[in-house]
Amino acid sequence: MIQPVLKDEDFLADVRAANQDNDDLRLWWLGQSGFLVQFQRKHLLLDPYLSDSLTKKYAATDKSHVRMTERVVDPARLDFIDVVTSSHNHTDHLDAETLDPLLKINPRLQMIVAAANRDFVATRLRVDPSFPIGLPDGASAAVVPFRFTAVPAAHEELTPETVGFVVECGPWSIYHSGDTMLYGGMAELGRAIAAIRH
């Protein structure tokens, strides 16, 4: 299993120390497809999976789902998160055991999902369906200072339930692909993302 460079208290201390008033972008890989993004003292989580819920779910089967990376931090300790994304409904991208504690300790947390997944997300997290901000492909929404645009993802097929997100903040753009294979039009997508900036 991949060991994090920093975890628990050391990881949190690193995030706190980095939290400065400037336009630097800081990004921590949280294992699996999860990232923490810090910009202008605001914090975004992309597809966090900070539990062992899949290991437990598949323990009695012949399809083991052990984490690739050791957990970086208990989600109940992330009390500074402004917005979280979920690229699709697979548990390692939409994990109630991660998101429930995050919602509890971040009462103002906002969430960005594919428009097609809003009801599924609301059911899994036991929240009102109006809570997740649902984006169809090509649509954008802002949670200042971040602006999110949903882009297609082919998780094997291109479907409305699988997306990636382009996140713009200040001079920066991040492409979080979600789970996707290469697909026809991806190169044009890259050019379109570049065009957003210029």
Task: Give the contact letters, 64-83, x = binds to Zn ion (CB under 5 A), - = no.
Answer: --------------------
Q: How far is the CB of 177 from Zn ion (least distance, A)?
A: 11
First to last CA, the chain: 41
Q: Which stretch binds Zn ion (CB under 5 A): 16-24, 56-64, 69-77, 176-184?
A: 176-184
| 179 counts as binding Zn ion under rule CB under 5 A | yes
Using CB atoms, what's the residue nearest to Zn ion?
90
Determine the Cα–Cα distance for residues 198 and 56; give it in Å rounded to an integer. Answer: 47
Q: Which stretch binds Zn ion (CB under 5 A): 10-18, 89-97, 114-122, 168-176?
A: 89-97
Cβ proximity to Zn ion, 9 vs 157, nearer residue: 157
Rounded distance between C-alpha atoms, residue 185 and residue 197, angstroms = 19
Among 7, 42, 65, 90, binds Zn ion (CB under 5 A): 90
Residue whose structure tokens are 């984006």: 135
Q: Is 161 in the site for Zn ion (CB under 5 A)?
A: no
CA dihedral 171, 103, 111, 37 (to 10 degrees): 20
Q: H or E stretch including 189?
A: helix 186-197
Calpha distance 36→43 (Å, rounded): 7
Instruction: Output 39 or 49, the one with its CB closest to Zn ion.
Output: 49
Name the site residues for Zn ion (rule: CB under 5 A): 90, 179
